[in-house]
């Protein structure tokens, strides 16, 4: 099935004012879906969805996933929920151990509880992550790789969410799609390596600090490719609980990302400084050094990434630099 054929007319997007969420909202609105966004704007911005705020098919609810009443209001009349609201930052778990538990596990539990109570909305698409695989020995890593041993609290919390979704689906008849995303890049992103490097270089165009040894090598996917993959998975999944890896088919290392960004910003003679990182070159504790997902399964539904990792990074850098230019 092609992702432009949509089988639902009313959708809730939790975290829809965020980076990936707002691009998903664009794709759904362009396909004539009635969209509700529930977001507490902790990481998201209203400007990300400003194009739709006055559209009668669009509803924005400022609310919190930690409050079941807010979720109930948002879920009213929806046939499917795309659950993106979360703490998306892998790094914070080492500093504050409660955030991933609350914003990811408890928030997801609250959503599933409200879905169970209301009973009308029985479809959920969840944004999980490549970090559930931990330091996989098999690269590219397929969906059935195991045992899953995440090395961050973020990865652990997302794996717990997947397990809750699976259990609720089997007990209460939900149909669920779990998307394990690689690194997603593009405009409106408020975190991640490209965002960090551009910020640092705007502050000091002569010197760039790289966390770790620069040899961390991962798959990057352009956000529009990601959204199309999520919609393809939502429409193409047949079973009750289906898991799809979503990423590109190659990797790019952090030093190459720095060089792409330096080039796109038109800078010269930037001194690159490596912190060396922790545990043999990781950027931070919990940073996976090599990540590449096996995407055979989602490709079987007819989806392909349009951009490879380096192209995605370059396009994202251009988008973010242009966005900054408009904001200044």
Q: Where in the sequence numbering do the catalytic residues fall?
A: 154
Whether the CA torsion 219, 176, 122, 234 is positive or negative: it is positive
Which of 20, 112, 291, 313 lies at the binding interface for ligand NAD (CB under 6 A)?
Answer: 20
Neighbours of 282 (CB within 10 A): 19
Q: Which is nearer to ligand NAD, 90 or 208 (CB)?
A: 90
Q: Which stretch in 38-46, 235-243, 266-274, 294-302 sits in contact with ligand NAD by CB under 6 A?
A: 38-46
Which of 39, 143, 213, 319 lies at the binding interface for ligand NAD (CB under 6 A)?
Answer: 39
Neighbours of 286 (CB within 10 A): 22
CA separation for the pair 151, 300 (Å, rounded)? 30
Residues 111-140 that bind ligand NAD (CB under 6 A): 127, 129
CA separation for the pair 74, 36 (Å, rounded)? 7
Q: Residue 17, interface with ligand NAD (CB under 6 A)? A: yes
Q: 3-state DSSP helix/strand/coil percent for the chain, to nearest 5?
A: 40, 20, 40
Beta bridge partners of 59: 36
Whose CA is closest to 209, among 158, 157, 163, 274?
274
Count, residues near ligand NAD per rule CB under 6 A:
29
Q: What Cα–Cα distance (Å) separates residue 302 from each residue in 5, 64, 225, 314? A: 13, 35, 13, 25
Q: Which stretch in 111-119, 184-192, 198-206, 302-310 sits in contact with ligand NAD by CB under 6 A?
A: 184-192
Q: Which stretch in 61-69, 163-171, 287-295, 298-306 sits in contact with ligand NAD by CB under 6 A?
A: 61-69
Which of 26, 43, 156, 257 lies at the binding interface for ligand NAD (CB under 6 A)?
Answer: 43
Q: Residue 247, interface with ligand NAD (CB under 6 A)? A: no
Taking the complex as a whole, how short is the minimal distance between the CB of residue 67 and ligand NAD, in angstroms?
A: 8
Q: Residue 100, interface with ligand NAD (CB under 6 A)? A: no
Cβ 225 vs Cβ 160: under 8 Å? no
Q: Which stretch in 17-25, 266-274, 286-294, 301-309 sits in contact with ligand NAD by CB under 6 A?
A: 17-25
Whose CA is closest to 255, among 222, 316, 192, 212?
212
Which of 78, 184, 252, 321 lies at the binding interface for ligand NAD (CB under 6 A)?
Answer: 184
CA separation for the pair 100, 160 (Å, rounded)? 10
Q: Residue 84, interface with ligand NAD (CB under 6 A)? A: yes
CA separation for the pair 113, 16 (Å, rounded)? 20
Taking the complex as a whole, how short is the minimal distance between the CB of residue 281 and ligand NAD, in angstroms?
A: 21
Q: Which stretch in 41-49, 170-178, 194-202, 267-275 sits in contact with ligand NAD by CB under 6 A?
A: 41-49
Quick note: the x/- pattern for ligand NAD over 185-224, rule CB under 6 A, is -----x-x--------------------------------
Which of 11, 44, 156, 212 lies at the binding interface for ligand NAD (CB under 6 A)?
Answer: 44
Whose CA is closest to 10, among 28, 23, 30, 24?
28
Burial class (CB in 10 A: 0-12, 13-18, 19+), 63: buried
Element (H, E) at 272: strand 271-274
Q: Which is nearer to ligand NAD, 128 or 169 (CB)?
A: 128
Which of 183, 232, 308, 315 lies at the binding interface for ligand NAD (CB under 6 A)?
Answer: 183
Taking the complex as a whole, how short is the minimal distance between the CB of residue 185 and ligand NAD, in angstroms?
A: 7
**Positions in the binding site for ligand NAD (CB under 6 A):** 15, 17-21, 38-44, 64-66, 84-86, 88, 103, 107, 127, 129, 181, 183-184, 190, 192
């Amino acid at each position: 099935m092609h992702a432009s054929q949509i089988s639902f007319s009313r959708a809730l997007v939790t975290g829809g004012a965020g980076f990936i969420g707002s691009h998903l909202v664009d794709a759904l609105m362009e396909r004539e879906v009635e969209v509700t966004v529930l977001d507490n704007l902790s990481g998201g911005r209203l400007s990300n969805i400003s194009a739709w705020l006055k559209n009668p098919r669009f509803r924005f609810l400022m609310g919190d996933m930690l409050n079941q009443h807010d979720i109930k209001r948002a879920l009213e009349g929806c046939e499917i929920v795309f659950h993106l609201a979360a703490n998306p930052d892998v790094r914070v778990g080492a500093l504050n151990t409660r955030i991933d538990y609350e914003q990811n596990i408890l928030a997801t539990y609250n959503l599933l509880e409200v879905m169970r109570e209301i009973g009308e909305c029985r479809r959920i698409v969840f944004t999980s992550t490549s970090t559930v695989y931990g330091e996989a020995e098999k690269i590219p890593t397929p969906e059935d790789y195991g045992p899953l041993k995440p090395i961050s609290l973020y990865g652990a919390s997302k794996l717990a969410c997947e397990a809750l979704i699976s259990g609720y689906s089997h007990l209460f008849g939900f149909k669920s799609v779990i998307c394990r995303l690689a690194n997603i890049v593009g405009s409106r992103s408020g975190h991640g390596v490209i965002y960090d490097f551009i910020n640092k270089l705007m502050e000091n165009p002569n010197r760039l600090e790289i966390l770790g040894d620069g040899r961390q090598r991962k798959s990057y996917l352009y956000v529009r490719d990601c959204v199309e993959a999520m919609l393809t998975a939502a429409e193409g999944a047949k079973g009750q609980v289906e898991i799809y890896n979503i990423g590109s088919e190659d990797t790019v290392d952090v030093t190459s990302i720095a060089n792409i960004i330096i080039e796109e910003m038109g800078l010269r003679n930037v001194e690159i400084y490596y912190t060396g990182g922790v545990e043999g070159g990781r950027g931070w504790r919990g940073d996976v050094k090599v990540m590449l997902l096996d995407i055979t399964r989602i490709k079987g539904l007819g989806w392909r990434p349009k951009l490879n990792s380096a192209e995605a990074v370059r396009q994202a850098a251009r988008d973010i630099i242009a966005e900054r230019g408009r904001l200044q």
